[in-house]
Amino acid sequence: MTERTETRAASPDARDVLAVRGLCKSHGRVRTLDAVDLDLKPGERVALLGHNGAGKTTLMKLILGLWTPSGGEIRVAGAVPGSAEARKASAYLPEAVAFHRALTGREQLTLFARLAGAPVKTVGELLERVGVADAADRRIGTWSKGMRQRLGLAQVLLGRPRIALLDEPTSGLDPISRHDLYAIIDEMAQNGTAVLIASHALTEVEARTDRIAIMRKGRIVADDTLARLSARAELPIRLRLTAQNDDASEVHARIGGERINGASVELLCSPETKMQRLAHIAALGDLVIDVEMAPPSLEDLYRHYSQGDRT
Ligand SMILES: Nc1ncnc2c1ncn2[C@@H]1O[C@H](COP(=O)(O)OP(=O)(O)O)[C@@H](O)[C@H]1O
Ligand SMILES: [Mg+2]
């Protein structure tokens, strides 16, 4: 299967905060990135999904100008990565945040504010915003990984960047903090910041991003809205029936599908045949006591798009 996905990069736009074209990166003989195209507009939240080693961090480091591409082009707010203009426009939350362990959170963020030329008086407010105000005057060496990541997020918010690159921001956070994280991402986007979120935590980005770019072995294999990716993948809907008296044999004999255990039968159907299937199920009367319907999950989609093109 070699389905080619039409990416947004097919239509370059002067308003793009990020424009990546035909980007390649080799580490020695290994090609880490291969002809990557990616665009972000102001206020767009884009998830960059891929397994470990897919090339997500590499792409971010190239966008930041920390590494040099082997080929292709990148513009950040119209400027070359690493230039003063591009650096001013971008903010980065690395996968592993490294701070001065001996400084307190407040001292560290104040230092960052001075370096970024941001008003120092916002520091207290930002520490509050990311939920570490209580620990602000303790040394960072005593903080948990989740707390340090929140401090990293405060640093991202400092300069009101035009693009924020967040590398695996949910690793090390507890579920409630993830909720907070996405609230902050939404807020940034509303203020016009484009946000690129690298993640392998698929369930995290399902409802919270405008677009999903799926990366596999250094290539972007899909880049679109979740709705359009779902429609194009034509993945089946799963219907799970629970039989009366925990007896699935009769239901299975009459309707087919697959027996999951003594009590349940699972059927797959397309969106078009769903109503017809449900009518058949209803005709079984009391034999079926419950029906659960599961649309394709993001995991299903991810598997679909990252399996294609095995070359
Ligand atoms: N400095 C490096 N030297 C050699 N190979 C590297 C280097 N950095 C990354 N790679 C390789 O590039 C690939 C992509 O890595 P990475 O961008 O970190 O993926 P991800 O962030 O998606 O997990 C991996 O196969 C990794 O082994
Ligand atoms: Mg990474």
Q: pLDDT digit string (tens) for 213-238?
A: 999 999 999 999 988 888 888 888 89
Assign 9 a pLDDT band (cuts: 50, 70, 90). Answer: very low
Distances (CA, A) of 195 to 18, 26, 227, 300: 10, 26, 20, 24
User: Rounded to two decimals, what is the model's pTM?
Assistant: 0.83
> Based on the domain organization, do 275 and 143 belong to the same domain?
no
pLDDT mean across residues, the chain: 89
Measured distance CA(71)–CA(25) in Å, rounded: 7
In a domain, 302, yes or no: no
In a domain, 311, yes or no: no
> Based on the domain organization, do 273 and 250 belong to the same domain?
yes
> Based on the domain organization, do 265 and 191 belong to the same domain?
no
Measured distance CA(86)–CA(69) in Å, rounded: 16
Q: Which among 98, 166, 106, 172 is positioned nearest to 135, based on CA atoms? A: 106
57 lines ligand 1 (CB under 6 A): yes
174 versus 65: the higher-pLDDT residue is 65
> Based on the domain organization, do 152 and 245 belong to the same domain?
no
Final residue of a domain: which of 231, 259, 283? 231
> Based on the domain organization, do 145 and 38 belong to the same domain?
yes
Reduced DSSP (H G I as helix, E B as strand, rest coil) percent helix, strand, coil of the chain, to 5: 40, 25, 35
Residue 64 has pLDDT above 50, yes or no: yes
The number of the ligand nearest the C-alpha atom of 94 reads 2
**Looking at residue 200, what is its pLDDT?**
84
> Based on the domain organization, do 119 and 29 belong to the same domain?
yes
Residue 204 has pLDDT above 90, yes or no: no
Residue of 23, 36, 49, 58 with the most ligand 1 atoms within 8 Å of its CB, for mutation: 58
58 lines ligand 1 (CB under 6 A): yes
Residue 280 has pLDDT above 90, yes or no: yes
> Based on the domain organization, do 54 and 181 belong to the same domain?
yes
Q: Which atom of ligand 1 is nearest to the CA of 168?
A: 21
**Looking at residue 154, what is its pLDDT?**
94
In a domain, 245, yes or no: yes
**Looking at residue 211, what is its pLDDT?**
94
32 lines ligand 1 (CB under 6 A): yes
In a domain, 66, yes or no: yes
In a domain, 162, yes or no: yes
**Looking at residue 246, what is its pLDDT?**
85
Residue 206 has pLDDT above 70, yes or no: no
> Based on the domain organization, do 181 and 265 belong to the same domain?
no
> Based on the domain organization, do 166 and 186 belong to the same domain?
yes
> Based on the domain organization, do 187 and 227 belong to the same domain?
yes
Rounded mean pLDDT, 21-42: 96
Q: Which among 211, 209, 156 is positioned nearest to 182, based on CA atoms? A: 209
Measured distance CA(187)–CA(158) in Å, rounded: 13
The number of the ligand nearest the C-alpha atom of 29 reads 1
Final residue of a domain: which of 178, 213, 231? 231
> Based on the domain organization, do 125 and 257 belong to the same domain?
no
Assign 297 a pLDDT band (cuts: 50, 70, 90). Answer: confident
178 versus 146: the higher-pLDDT residue is 146
Measured distance CA(223)–CA(5) in Å, rounded: 7
In a domain, 309, yes or no: no
**Looking at residue 5, what is its pLDDT?**
45
**Looking at residue 262, what is its pLDDT?**
86
Complete DSSP assignment for 60-102: HHHHTTSS--SEEEEEETTB-TTSHHHHHHEEEE-SS----TT
Residue 128 has pLDDT above 60, yes or no: yes
In a domain, 303, yes or no: no
Rounded mean pLDDT, 266-294: 93
HSE of 33, CA atoms in CB hemisphere, 13 A:
26
Rounded mean pLDDT, 45-60: 95
Measured distance CA(248)–CA(259) in Å, rounded: 7
261 lines ligand 1 (CB under 6 A): no
**Looking at residue 173, what is its pLDDT?**
66
Q: Are 49 and 214 in contact (CB under 8 A)?
A: yes
**Looking at residue 276, what is its pLDDT?**
94
In a domain, 305, yes or no: no
Assign 140 a pLDDT band (cuts: 50, 70, 90). Answer: very high
Domain of 146, in residue numbers: 6-231
Share of the chain above pLDDT 70, in %: 91
300 versus 106: the higher-pLDDT residue is 106
Q: How many structural domains does the chain have?
A: 2
> Based on the domain organization, do 15 and 108 belong to the same domain?
yes
Tokens of 36: 């990557």
Residue 10 has pLDDT above 80, yes or no: no
Residue 286 is part of a domain; what is its CATH number?
A: 3.30.70
Final residue of a domain: which of 231, 247, 263? 231
> Which stretch of DSSP H or E encloses residue 300?
helix 298-307
Residue 138 is part of a domain; what is its CATH number?
A: 3.40.50.300
